[in-house]
Amino acid sequence: DAKTTQPTSMDCAEGRAANLPCNHSTISGNEYVYWYRQIHSQGPQYIIHGLKNNETNEMASLIITEDRKSSTLILPHATLRDTAVYYCIVRVDQTGANNLFFGTGTRLTVIP
């Protein structure tokens, strides 16, 4: 599975959009981009995933560049409860939690 690069940490003001970038320049054509987050002392939580097209759900939006070498997770109106470590993962299959490579992620702090 392709490696990803994420900033170590980011801050965001409460109520503003949080834009979390991820580089995956070696992604293959059949690899999906996944985002999970881990709030302190909890297990990781699935957020969203996509292949080529932009995706949106009740939690977030995922914007994937046309060349698929990078993506951005957008939390449209960040709240204090969104403070967490966010992991960008790329992988071939879509089978649940099988062989997810989490890396070290981006620590997002939402500031009041």
Partner 1 sequence: ETGVTQSPTHLIKTRGQQVTLRCSSQSGHNTVSWYQQALGQGPQFIFQYYREEENGRGNFPPRFSGLQFPNYSSELNVNALELDDSALYLCASSLGVRGGAEAFFGQGTRLTVV
Part of the chain binding partner 1 (CB under 8 A), chosen from 10-18, 19-27, 58-66, 89-97: 89-97
Question: What distances in angstroms separate CA 85 from CA 27, 37, 52, 79, one per listed residue?
Answer: 22, 5, 24, 14
| CA–CA dist 98, 110 (Å, integer) | 30
95 lies in the site for partner 1, by CB under 8 A: yes
> Look-up: residue for tokens 């989490």?
102
Residues 1-60 that bind partner 1 (CB under 8 A): 32, 34, 41-46, 49
Nearer to partner 1, 95 or 112 (CB): 95
